[in-house]
Structure 1
């Protein structure tokens, strides 16, 4: 048994056991509960709905690894979407000609990503140089972005975009949804960044002990600023996907995703105090949460019950972690 566990850990990593067990449990329970669960339609629905939540979770992941949190990810995504929408409309909107189409598309995507980067930069600078708690800084940024967005849009939607935007939210390549391909690309990029780069190593070091990281020669301020900048860019990518999927953008889009991104990180084995965790288990945890939502929908549960189940699941994860830590301590 120990040899089997050791082999599993060597192949997948010890932190993959929980997400894979949860995935198996969801497949078995809902597979028996509904004859329509284990079908192509269900998995197609998951592939369509997962990307924006997945990219937002990646935006939350890196700040948590440093021992922080970014509560502004959803509103960063919405402001990035609004920036993209205004840039598209300024370059011809729906009636854009070929020249304006090419220039406007490149410019709009760049401006949308840049807006997320700037918001992350501001948070990173405040956190790094004032040592204010990331929860307070990101909460302040969230309130600011929400108020700014409501003021600029007067609480309404912005819609009417060129035809090239639609495939980002609804297109497919070889039968694979384009948003899912974007998510997979972001997962791979995040995995490589955290596991193969100096920035990734420094991120884990800061999450483990920021003072030790500082004394070991790591420029902790620079790393924190870069982490929140990357978080902002990732949130902006999610905002672009949401704009393309809904063919409109407003300040409140995706607001309910915020706590689910935290749940996905913890279910995926991320240490809530930072310093430990990987991208791939979090990706599996995202699939579990989306399958759970689809299974409850098939059983006739409304969205409010799904949200309640997600909340209970977060509490269960915390309790199980506490029990596992106690068990390991007793065994040792």
Structure 2
């Protein structure tokens, strides 16, 4: 029994305490406040809405763990979605075959990865701040997308895309299954692979990692490449969900991905954080949004509450750190 408990503790880490407490608080509050909250419809809605935000959060997670940031995630996702859309439009539109969709997905992932490669190379070799580099990429990708689409939507896709965005397997939404697979992939990468270990080292102290023999430039480029590739997966899911692509889709998700990372116990300066607590934090944010909607609150209020929650998380973290310092001094 102790070994099982130890394994669970090692899997989740101490970071699970914050999102776990928030999950219980949200469930109890809205469970009492709204009779419809604890229903199949609510959890079904969360299951369909979670994946696109979740995938973008995974794209944000790796750069944050290195002490960086990727502000271009939403526009990278949209330019990747536009890549798939253009391949389909150029080869029959609504009559395009699955092979063309598969080719579009491959090209979309390549486009997403390419944006990450460029950012990673600039950050690694010029030591420019990740915020400035990713902001520049965000502006470039947004401008390029608006130029190519003239600010409009691209729509008219084959019917077989509908199940990818809205279908289910054994009662589980297909987008959710894709997201869970990506969560497991990221978990394995960070806990079982050398790249994950080096990512934590760079986030903790990049100079110490360099002196330890870690090729920090290579790791940073790989981290941003994987971040861009994950953005592309999110873009493909968004295309299937909305049955259209627009450069501005999911613009509001950017800051929410940062909130999810911090609520999930990820250190904003890098070096510490796990995937599973971030997954729980995403569930909390979606349940919070659904609960407010059931109570008749405007979606903008939910966004405001997310902002307040981020401030509260920062304050609670500071208080926890001060409490630990006091306990050490007493000990």
TM-score band, normalised by shorter chain: over 0.9
Q: SS state of the match for residue 121, structure 1?
A: helix
Question: Is residue 13 of structure 2 the alignment partner of residue 30 of structure 1?
Answer: no
Structure-1 residue corresponding to 2:77: 77
Structure-2 residue corresponding to 1:326: 322
Please state how far the C-alpha of 1:10 moved relative to its aligned partner: 5.3
- 1:141–1:7 CA distance, 2 compared to 1 (3 A): closer
Question: Is residue 317 of structure 2 the alignment partner of residue 308 of structure 1?
Answer: no
CA distance in 1, matches of 2:12, 2:206: 28
Please state how far the C-alpha of 1:164 moved relative to its aligned partner: 2.1
- Of stretches 38-47 and 12-21 in structure 1, the one that deviates more from structure 2 is 12-21
CA distance in 2, matches of 1:11, 1:186: 16
Q: Residues 1-332 of structure 1 correspond to what in structure 2 (within 5 A)?
A: 9=9, 12-96=12-96, 101-332=97-328
CA distance in 1, matches of 2:137, 2:285: 27
Q: Residues 173-212 of structure 1: CA distance to partner in whole angstroms, max 9, x if unpaired? A: 1111000000000000000000000000000000000000
Q: Residues 1-44 of structure 1: CA distance to partner in whole angstroms, max 9, x if unpaired? A: xxxx9998457421111111100000000000000000000000
CA distance in 1, matches of 2:221, 2:11: 34
Give the conservation status (yes or no) of the 8 Å contact 2:63–2:223: yes
Q: CA RMSD in A?
A: 1.3
Count of matched residue positions in the alignment of Structure 1 and Structure 2: 324
Please state how far the C-alpha of 1:103 moved relative to its aligned partner: 2.4
Find runs of 4+ consecutive structure 1 residues off by over 3 angstroms. 5-12
CA distance in 2, matches of 1:52, 1:7: 30
TM-score between both structures, scaled by the size of structure 1: 0.96
CA distance in 2, matches of 1:31, 1:142: 40
TM-score between both structures, scaled by the size of structure 2: 0.96
